[in-house]
Structure 1
């Protein structure tokens, strides 16, 4: 093999090794409702930057407790705006790093076609045994569900039928497996191609609950991490926003 080719191969190997050495892994806590879009965004982020976002999904309230107790997360994508603000105030997150990456939508959904009508009247008729929600103290979508039921004057009537999941992911699981006939979940969990992809649904009007503003925040342990800062910036790009919109959120 000619010496010039060997020299170029050597330079290429060094460049690749250097790039690999600069790549980082970032530990990211992600609200369960944002599972599907964040998986796509993380894959794009790795392709575009070389950095790998290691994702853990769960309930916002549970993540708050874990982060407060030293869990090794570097970036937190919450399902509300209050929890990241609290972490900033307590010094567990980098002050001024917080921003809203998405505004979520609540939906009453059933895996059964035709069970949920377009106006949500099924809630008043009560022709079901179980309705699932996420735990209100842990999950903002669960709190929004309770607020909706109260605004409709149905909380007392529906209380005996409620089953609670630890996160919005578990609430969705209850409904999708038939353990509950219907439930309040995140629209993103059943939204694809501009419509609800299966079952039957009622998108809850925004005037029935407080806005579900979802904030991201850089955690204190990652204040000097360039890769974590890059992920925070990446969430604001047009490429990431397009993914967010595709799942029924407003960026």
Structure 2
């Protein structure tokens, strides 16, 4: 009888945990795809809550939120969009914080193609340079800032191909449709080393800081899973994952 009672208690406890587990709808900037997939898996394992992820350009998410999209949390690729949503009373006051600072990298899928100082940009030997849409993606805006600072924007404009977001900009380079492009370091490096190809990590002084803010949206105000995920993003485990993908904290 004691063994049966113990089994029943375990079953009730497991059922209770599942009953209290929740879901949270999360809009995630495309550059943060890989780390957020790992964080979401760890979050579910550790808390029982599930983060349902959608990936895309921050500018498009902003428009979708205003059009009634069911997102409860926004992990943006900038700090301006969450701040704007704050001002527009579309967020839970006081929930916004910077979860990562992104790094821009000039990258090629070819080994030894991009040198350590980015001088390949001045060579003119390539046909296509991929960047994300600077109007919708902060990494695209940072790429334009970098080219402008290098006084190469006018020269390279005819070679530029734009991806809708940083994921598409990366895809152009990864498939060889563009010889090189400006992408997020998190897409091409792990623990400070390029996983493939060659690249130049753009110095921070070449563009405005890519501070990436998270915020709970109005639709997530009463969802405990949303609050739990925001707290989890500040945990040591989440921070370790974020750092491993080349972000600064």
Q: TM-score, normalised by structure 2?
A: 0.98
Give, in whole Å, the separation in 2 of the partners of 1:233 and 1:29.
Answer: 17
Deviation of 1:194 (Å)? 2.4
Q: Select which of 12, 21, 24 maps to 1:23.
A: 21
C-alpha deviation, 1:101, in angstroms: 0.3
Aligned to 2:145: 147
SS at 1:70 equivalent: coil
1:80 and 2:73 aligned: no
Distance in structure 1 (CA, Å) of the matches to 2:14 and 2:235: 26
Q: CA RMSD in A?
A: 0.9
1:156 alignment counterpart: 154
Partner SS state of residue 183, structure 2: strand
Instruction: Describe how 1:50-199 pairs up with structure 2 within 5 A.
Output: 50-199=48-197
Measured after TM superposition, the shift of residue 9 of structure 1 is 2.0
| 2:92/2:221 contact within 8 Å kept | yes
| Residues 16-67 of structure 1: CA deviation (Å, up to 9, x unaligned) | 1111110001111100101111111111111110001111111100111111
Conserved in 1, the CA contact under 8 Å of 2:191 and 2:243?
Answer: no
SS across alignment from 2:77 = coil
Question: Is the contact made by 2:23 and 2:50 (CA closer than 8 Å) also made in structure 1?
Answer: yes
- 2:248 counterpart residue number: 250
| Distance (Å, rounded) in 2 between the aligned partners of 1:28 and 1:207 | 31
* CA distance in structure 2 between the partners assigned to 1:70 and 1:173 by the alignment: 29
Unaligned runs of 5+ in 2: none
- Equivalent residue of 2:214, what SS? strand
Aligned match for 2:216, one of 215, 218, 225? 218
In 2, Cα distance between equivalents of 1:19 and 1:32: 32
Q: How many residues align?
A: 249
Q: Residue 49 of structure 1 is aligned with which of 47, 50, 68? A: 47
Runs (5+) with no aligned partner, structure 1: none
Q: Matches of 2:85 and 2:226 in 1, distance apart? A: 17
Q: Cα offset for 1:5?
A: 2.4
Partner residue in 1 for 2:201: 203
Distance, in Å, in 2 between the alignment partners of 1:95 and 1:127 is 50
SS in 2 for 1:20: helix
